[in-house]
Amino acid sequence: MTVESVNLISDLDQNNPAGGDSIAEGDDHIRNIKRSLKNTFPNINDPVTATAEDLNKLSDFVQTGNGVFASCKWNGTQLMYAHNVSSVNQYGTSGYRVNFAQPTDGFDHHYAVQATPIASNARPVTIHVTDQRDSWVEFTVSEWDGVNLGAPSGPVGFYMTMVDMIQTEANANT
Map out the domains of the chain as residue ranges: 9-49, 62-171
Q: Residue 118: CB partners within 8 Å, gap ≥ 6?
A: 75, 76, 125, 156, 157, 158, 159
Block means of pLDDT (10 residues each) for the chain, length 174 residues? 81 85 86 89 83 68 60 89 91 90 64 76 79 86 85 85 62 47
- DSSP tag of 3: -
DSSP string over 114-135: EEEEE-STT--EEEEEEEE-SS
Per-residue pLDDT, 98:
94
Residue 165: its pLDDT value, please? 60
- Residue-level pLDDT at 87: 95
Structure confidence at residue 108 (pLDDT): 54
d(CA 57, CA 35): 27
Distance of alpha carbon 116 from the chain centroid: 15
pTM over 0.95: no
